[in-house]
Structure 1
Amino acid sequence: MSLFWIVLRQLAEIEAMAMSKKVITRDDWEKRLKDVNIRKEDMNKLVMNFLVTEGYVEAAEKFRTESGTAPDIDLATITDRMAIKEAVQRGNVEDAIEKVNDLNPEILDTNPQLFFHLQQQRLIELIRNRKVEEALEFAQEELAPRGEENLGFLEELEKTVALLAFEDVASSPVGELLDVSQRLKTASEINAAILTSQSHEKDPKLPVLLKLLTWTQNQLGEKVAYPRINDVSTAVLEDPAV
């Protein structure tokens, strides 16, 4: 049974117990938690999943050595994936596209939306660098044909080209396209596509479990007062407010 379902089952049992009580004491709660049997192997897999998905290749290598936990993908591919992601974050989209094709050309061949967004990011970088003529030519030759085939692409293209109409781009209605968050958004999209192509989850499991913990605690808190974790970074149980 996966760690995810073990946690769900135990939380469901705790909630069922809580239905008949108004207050759960710390002693009762801690005793209940000690009865939860989570294998160390499952915990190690959860950590490795996070390190691999987020691209911490050195930490993943060290953790593999220390824990004996094997990653489910070749760690060498993490280095390639991070190089692509970092290239986009620097604004070097052409280099990122070249690296993606070297890694697996099918990623862009089978994902027209991703390819459009990478090309859109190239256009944004040209505008950022005030290469107006080159930007217009690139938009007309590379992006306009795709916009004719897809209304969503056309709207995004028009919004991007609108950057050229403002002298003070930062305060314009489309100024967010030049913000670092736009690069991060594109980098995140290509990162997810690479992970999917490697049959790996595009999001780490750990944050999902933490969200599940928060949701379950809130649901349970509506029915009973009990010791809960308010700060997941410390995982300290805080006594219930009676």
Structure 2
Amino acid sequence: MKVDPAVQRRLLELADVDAELARVDHRRRTLPELAEIADAEKAAQAKKDAKVANETALGDLDREVKRQEREIDAVRAREDRDRALLAGGTVSSKQMTDLEHELNTLQRRQTTLEDELLELMERREAVELDGQHAAVELAKADEALQDAANRRDHALADLETVSARRTADREKLVPEFPQPLLDLYERVRKNRGIGASLLRQRRCGACRIELDRTSISRIANTAADEVVTCDECGAIMVRTPESGL
């Protein structure tokens, strides 16, 4: 394939543009913020789970406290009723004895229930403090997640700016090349990542392999307008005075 040497040299500009676009694409996919966000999302979810578990525990304790309070109220009501019967003087001596025994039992029961209620209230206070701590930790996790997301968005916006600029550069360059040359370039770029490179000091700029004497001799004797490719990677090798031929 014969192509004007000046047009071949312009391929190096296209290759530079494509290399930068490839770096931008790689950067998009490997932003450190992406891994940071994934970790932050896991941390935030763990904090949310902890907060929900705390709220569940607090709800269970609240129900237990109310049940205990109702039972204490029932014991007190029974005690008040018995004391009212005793104060009324309308019961027999046997009933009085039974009521006094029941009152003693109710007092012991009330003391036990009140001790249990106090323990429940202490547990509830501890769980409530844990809940406040969980809420603070969740807020911190959400803040860290939002911060990482903001940094990711800023980085992506910068990359998008570079991508748009270099894509525009590429669109201006592409029409300068004959279609057969462009087809060869795109085919090699798709398969190898680099479609064209500078042959510098007898070394292919794409695969970095130094050419042997036979290849150098063959290329040196090839017309300047003939397109040459690397035997190793297939990239178009653009010859300039730096090629060392």
TM-score where L is the length of structure 1: 0.23
Q: Higher helix share goes to which structure?
A: 2
TM-score where L is the length of structure 2: 0.22
| Bigger radius of gyration among the two | 2
